[in-house]
C-alpha cells in the first residue's frame, strides 16, 4: 500500500459523460491530501461546462443534473503538461482509466508503462461482459492483444457496474470489484422536508404514469425545480434502464423520498445499485396495482422510517464515500484529513 502525505492519481478520461467515472472524479477531488489530474480536462464536470460553447446543441445527457458543472480548478490550477513524461518518471502513484471499453487504445499503446504502478480500470457501461471479451475487439485486433499480462497484474483492479454470471474471466486471474454510481454530498438533504405530493412529477414507469395520467418523460428544464419536486414528494418512481444503476435512484433518496423500484427483486446481486432492501429503505414492486396497494397500507411512521433510511442510503453512496471505497479496494491509502 502506498503511504505518503500526498497521493497522486492520473485520471485518464474523455469528453463524454460517464456517471460511474464522473461521480468518482467528483469524490476524489473532494478528498484532502489527494492530487488528481484529469487528463484531458473533463470539461462537463467544471463550471459552465454542461453545454458545448461553440455548439450549444451538444451537451450532457439529461441536462447534466446532479454531477455536472460542479468542479472548480484548485488554486493555482491543474498542471496537465508532459503527462506521459511524468508518468514514466514515476510522478503518479496510480493511474485510473475512466472507461476501459472506450480507452483501450491507451492500454494498448502504454501497457508496459502502465504495468509499473497500480492501475484502476472502470467499467460503467451497460454491458455484463468483462473487457476485453468483445467480438468487435477480436475482429479488429485478434485474440492476442498483449494485454493479458497487464490485466492480470496484482496491482490492476477492475471496477464493474454490471457484474453478473455473464461477466466471465475466461481463465484470466483478475481483481474484480463491484462499483456503483454516486451523488454529491451537497445534494443530499440533512433531514426530511415537508411533503405535499404523493409522487414526483416525473414517473418513469410508463404503466404507472398511464394509470395516474402523469408524464413518463423529462418534465423539468432546470435542476432546482427537479430537486424541489422530488423533495416535496413522498414517493419517487424508478426502474431499470439499459442497466440496473441509474442516477435517479440516488436523486430520489437524496431528496428524502421513498425509492419505489420496479422489479428490484430481479436485479442480480453483483449489479449496482447495492444496499437497497425492500421494506427497509425502498419499496420493490412488480406492478402498478401492487405498488399502490402497498403504499395504501403503509403507516405514517413506516413511511418516515423508509424516507430516513433512504436518506441514510444516499449519504452512504455519496461521491466522497465512493472514492474512499475505490481507494480501499485498490489497496491505496486514503489521504489524511
* pLDDT for res 1: 45
Q: Is residue 138 a part of any domain in this protein?
A: yes
Residue 134 has pLDDT above 70, yes or no: no
Percent of the chain scored above 70 by pLDDT?
A: 92
What is the pLDDT confidence band of residue 5, given thresholds at 50, 70 and 90? low
The residue segments making up the domain with residue 249 are: 185-316
Are residues 228 and 146 part of one domain? no
Are residues 42 and 15 part of one domain? yes
Q: Is residue 2 a part of any domain in this protein?
A: no
What's the number of CA atoms in the CB half-sphere (13 Å) around residue 178? 15
Q: Is residue 1 a part of any domain in this protein?
A: no
Asked if residue 259 lies in contact with residue 238, where contact means CB atoms within 8 angstroms, the answer is: yes
| Averaged pLDDT for residues 132-157 | 74
Output the 3-class SS for the chain: CECCCCEEEEEECCCCCCHHHHHHHHHHHHCCCEEEEEECCCHHHECCCCECCCCCCCECHHHHCCCCCCECCCCCCCCCCCHHHHHHCCCCCEEEECCCCCCHHHHHHHHHHHCCCCEEEEECCCCCCCCCCCHHHHHHHCCCCCCHHHHCCCCEEEEECECCCCCCCCCCCCEEEECCCCECHHHCCCCCCCCCEEECCECCCHHHHHHHCCECCCCCCCHHHHHHHHHCEEEEEECCCCCCCCHHHHHHHHCCCEEEEECHHHCCCCECCCCCCECCCEEEECCHHHHHHHHHHCCHHHHHHHHHHHHHHHHHCEHHHHHHHHHHHCCECCCCC
What is the pLDDT confidence band of residue 335, given thresholds at 50, 70 and 90? low
* pLDDT for res 171: 85
In angstroms, rounded to a whole number, what is the distance separating the alpha carbons of residues 91 and 280? 46
Residue 142 has pLDDT above 60, yes or no: no
* pLDDT for res 271: 98
Residue 219 has pLDDT above 90, yes or no: no
CATH number of the domain encompassing residue 258 = 3.40.50.2000
Q: Is residue 30 a part of any domain in this protein?
A: yes
Are residues 55 and 44 part of one domain? yes
pLDDT (tens digit, 9 = 90+) per residue, 292-316? 999 999 999 999 999 999 999 999 9
Asked if residue 124 lies in contact with residue 25, where contact means CB atoms within 8 angstroms, the answer is: no
| Averaged pLDDT for residues 213-236 | 87
| Averaged pLDDT for residues 32-43 | 95
In angstroms, rounded to a whole number, what is the distance separating the alpha carbons of residues 34 and 5? 9
| Averaged pLDDT for residues 92-112 | 91
Are residues 298 and 160 part of one domain? no
Beta bridge partners of 11: 38, 96
Residue 141 has pLDDT above 70, yes or no: no
Are residues 219 and 144 part of one domain? no
| Averaged pLDDT for residues 255-267 | 98
* pLDDT for res 133: 73
Percent of the chain scored above 90 by pLDDT?
A: 74
* pLDDT for res 224: 93
Residue 138 has pLDDT above 80, yes or no: no
pLDDT (tens digit, 9 = 90+) per residue, 146-187? 688 899 999 999 999 999 999 988 888 999 999 999 999 999
Q: Is residue 25 a part of any domain in this protein?
A: yes
CATH number of the domain encompassing residue 65 = 3.40.50
Residue 318 has pLDDT above 80, yes or no: yes
* pLDDT for res 2: 44
| Averaged pLDDT for residues 37-44 | 96
What domain count does the chain have?
A: 2
What is the pLDDT confidence band of residue 220, given thresholds at 50, 70 and 90? confident
Are residues 132 and 250 part of one domain? no
Beta strand pairing call for 94-97 and 7-12 = parallel
Are residues 158 and 19 part of one domain? yes
Asked if residue 132 has a cis previous peptide bond (ω within 30° of 0), the answer is yes
Which is more confidently placed, 289 or 105? 289
Are residues 212 and 178 part of one domain? no
Residue 72 has pLDDT above 70, yes or no: yes
Are residues 290 and 193 part of one domain? yes
Mean confidence (pLDDT) of the chain: 91
* pLDDT for res 242: 93
Q: Is residue 335 a part of any domain in this protein?
A: no
Q: Is residue 334 a part of any domain in this protein?
A: no
Are residues 111 and 124 part of one domain? yes
Q: Is residue 208 a part of any domain in this protein?
A: yes
Are residues 201 and 124 part of one domain? no
* pLDDT for res 108: 85
Are residues 274 and 294 part of one domain? yes
Amino acid at each position: 500500500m502506498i503511504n505518503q502525505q500526498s497521493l497522486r492519481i492520473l485520471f485518464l478520461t474523455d469528453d463524454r459523460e460517464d456517471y460511474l467515472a464522473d461521480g468518482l472524479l467528483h469524490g476524489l477531488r473532494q478528498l484532502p491530501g489527494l492530487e488528481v489530474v484529469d487528463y484531458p480536462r473533463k470539461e462537463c464536470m467544471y463550471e459552465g461546462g454542461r453545454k458545448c460553447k461553440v455548439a450549444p446543441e451538444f451537451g450532457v445527457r439529461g441536462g447534466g443534473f446532479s454531477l455536472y458543472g460542479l468542479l472548480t480548478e484548485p488554486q493555482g490550477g491543474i498542471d496537465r503538461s508532459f503527462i506521459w513524461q511524468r508518468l514514466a518518471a514515476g510522478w503518479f502513484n496510480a493511474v485510473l482509466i475512466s472507461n476501459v471499453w472506450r480507452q483501450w487504445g491507451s492500454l494498448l499503446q502504454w501497457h508496459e508503462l502502465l504495468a509499473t504502478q497500480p492501475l484502476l480500470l472502470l467499467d460503467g457501461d451497460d454491458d455484463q461482459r468483462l473487457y476485453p471479451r468483445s467480438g468487435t475487439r477480436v475482429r479488429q485486433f485478434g485474440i492476442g492483444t498483449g494485454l493479458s499480462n497487464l490485466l492480470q497484474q496484482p496491482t490492476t483492479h477492475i471496477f464493474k457496474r454490471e457484474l453478473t454470471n455473464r461477466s466471465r474471466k475466461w481463465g484470466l486471474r483478475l481483481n474484480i470489484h463491484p462499483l456503483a454510481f454516486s451523488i454529491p454530498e451537497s445534494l443530499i438533504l440533512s433531514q426530511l422536508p415537508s411533503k405535499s405530493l404523493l409522487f414526483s412529477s416525473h414517473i418513469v414507469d410508463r404503466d404507472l404514469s398511464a394509470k395516474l395520467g402523469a408524464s413518463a418523460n423529462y418534465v423539468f428544464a432546470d435542476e432546482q425545480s427537479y430537486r424541489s419536486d422530488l423533495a416535496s414528494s413522498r414517493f419517487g418512481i424508478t426502474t431499470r434502464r439499459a442497466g440496473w444503476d441509474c442516477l435517479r435512484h440516488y436523486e430520489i433518496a437524496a431528496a428524502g423520498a421513498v425509492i419505489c423500484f420496479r422489479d428490484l427483486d430481479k436485479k442480480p446481486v453483483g449489479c449496482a445499485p447495492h444496499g437497497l432492501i425492500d421494506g427497509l429503505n425502498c419499496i420493490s414492486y412488480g406492478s402498478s396495482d401492487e405498488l399502490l396497494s402497498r403504499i395504501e397500507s403503509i403507516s405514517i411512521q413506516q413511511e418516515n422510517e423508509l424516507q430516513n433510511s433512504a436518506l441514510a442510503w444516499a449519504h452512504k453512496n455519496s461521491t466522497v464515500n465512493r472514492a474512499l471505497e475505490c481507494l480501499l479496494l485498490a489497496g491505496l491509502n486514503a489521504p489524511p484529513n
